[in-house]
Structure 1
């Protein structure tokens, strides 16, 4: 990743060649809507699908689309009024959390489907809790009027960006934002390497920063210099391994927070013990990957 960062810095700081000057490069301002509009359309489509499709996949797609929107708004933050950008990113987080409440139960159910989890008698109660969460998720998303909220956010951001006078070449802008995201990841990785293996917050910070950098590279790859395939591959490894750790931590917390739903079930203690062992194992696995960042 450090090699990629140097390439981006050279591109961001260097002047354009004679050949490049002959071609009018698009500006970041002009390109914003071309990135944002498809993401908004996808998120609206996934939100509509959740009303009809109760499957874990539908909720997962909605949550991912909203996370990508948050990352895009972060990328274009220098061109947006700070307060409005913060409010819009908070909106995407709120909607993703609404979808995530059901998704968390899906993850817990999937984890406890493993034979050694000790969850022999919890399945009916887990499914009931998942059904209740789905009803709440659907109600929240319906009341939020996702379609109009996201379209208004897109219109507001597009208008603001295109009324600013300064124009920045897209490649230069993208290079700087990717470099900033990469610095954030490396800083968080350094902090996590120094932290105790029980410090999940430090590991979670790496996961979030890695996800943001991955999304930015996927957005801007066509206008960035050099190849980023190696970096993307490494980021996918981080996301997969740290995501498995997050699944365990979130599931353990969900089970503890809803202990009253499973009162009288002797399996609960066994399941919590299994989740605790899994968390320690996955923390060690994540720590091993940190050394390669």
Structure 2
């Protein structure tokens, strides 16, 4: 099935549209961007290129979540899983980039010999990149995403009921805000070492931020204050997640660096940095 290009050109800010009719106008540009980013990865292996692809796929997953109430549950779950799998493939290389960047920023680990593992880190990064490229190439991203878009658009366009776009957007943003507030409340009560509670806040905040970016022109009310909060959460909790993921990655792959330098200094610094950033994240939660 081919997607009606006229639907993709529809202005999603048109308040007279139904949510079903507006879907393609939101989804088609995201699909095109993800396909373009995946194609560029063959030529550009920079951290920024990988980050752009992963973000594009995350935005697609969030959009499909937003339209979940209008879609058959099983199919929607499969589509979101597809975007998650593709993002994970791209993310494997990105995780090494973050670890390398973090260790390069720390003077103490450099003095203590952790810089000796730098060549091995680059080798691991190259190996992950080759795996990412192979996975994304074999997956035929262009075909998969076009197929997902066409399938979902067909389901929505053949639905008997119609829901006003503004009403739909307001409801989905409100639901996402409730989820974020609940997770923030749990994280405030959680023990300091409970990273999962903090991670859940980050995920809920990211999802809400994407929805506000999608629907902001047609939403009721002013969401500027919430966006400012989300930017704070994204920055503070994002840096925490980078350290936690890097610590796990280095620990799980310690065997790769045997004989190439002392990884203990790097792991020790990452542990200290994790605790520091956990305190910072907890402090932000108390203020919000």
Tell whether the 8 Å contact from 2:15 to 2:166 is kept in structure 1 after alignment: no
2:197 is equivalent to residue 202 of structure 1: yes
Q: CA deviation at 1:265?
A: 3.8
- The two structures have a TM-score, normalised by structure 1, of 0.91
Tell me the equivalent position of 1:89. 80
2:217 is equivalent to residue 225 of structure 1: no
Q: Which has the higher contact order (CA 8 A, sep 6+)?
A: 1
Tell me the equivalent position of 1:149. 144
Tell me the equivalent position of 2:95. 104
Tell me the equivalent position of 2:19. 28
Tell whether the 8 Å contact from 2:239 to 2:277 is kept in structure 1 after alignment: yes
Tell me the equivalent position of 1:48. 39
Query: 2: distance between equivalents of 1:124 and 1:99?
Result: 21
Secondary structure of the structure 1 residue equivalent to 2:35: helix
The one of 136, 146, 168 equivalent to 1:173 is 168
Q: CA deviation at 1:227?
A: 2.1
Query: 2: distance between equivalents of 1:237 and 1:50?
Result: 30
Query: 1: distance between equivalents of 2:56 and 2:180?
Result: 21
Superposed, 1:5-20 pairs within 5 Å as none
Q: Which moved more, 1:120-129 or 1:168-177?
A: 120-129
Tell me the equivalent position of 1:279. 274
Tell me the equivalent position of 2:11. none
Gaps of 5+ in 2: 1-13
Query: 2: distance between equivalents of 1:92 and 1:43?
Result: 10
Q: Considering only aligned residues, what root-mean-square deviation do their CA atoms show, in Å?
A: 1.1
Query: 2: distance between equivalents of 1:261 and 1:222?
Result: 50
Query: 1: distance between equivalents of 2:35 and 2:26?
Result: 15
Q: CA deviation at 1:226?
A: 2.3
Query: 1: distance between equivalents of 2:36 and 2:231?
Result: 25
Query: 2: distance between equivalents of 1:131 and 1:177?
Result: 40
Q: CA deviation at 1:264?
A: 2.2
The one of 275, 278, 291 equivalent to 2:286 is 291
Tell me the equivalent position of 1:183. 178
Query: 1: distance between equivalents of 2:34 and 2:261?
Result: 41
2:28 is equivalent to residue 37 of structure 1: yes
Secondary structure of the structure 1 residue equivalent to 2:116: coil
Secondary structure of the structure 2 residue equivalent to 1:57: helix
Q: CA deviation at 1:116?
A: 2.4
Q: CA deviation at 1:266?
A: 4.1
- The two structures have a TM-score, normalised by structure 2, of 0.92
Tell me the number of residue pairs that the alignment of Structure 1 and Structure 2 aligns.
271
Q: CA deviation at 1:24?
A: 7.0
Tell me the equivalent position of 1:261. 256
Query: 2: distance between equivalents of 1:230 and 1:189?
Result: 16
Q: CA deviation at 1:267?
A: 2.2
Tell whether the 8 Å contact from 2:15 to 2:218 is kept in structure 1 after alignment: no
Query: 1: distance between equivalents of 2:79 and 2:42?
Result: 23
Gaps of 5+ in 1: 1-22
The list of structure 1 runs, each at least 4 consecutive aligned residues, that deviate by more than 6 angstroms after superposition, is none
Q: Give CA deviations for 1:135-157 in whole Å, capped at 9, x if unaligned.
A: 00000000000000000000000
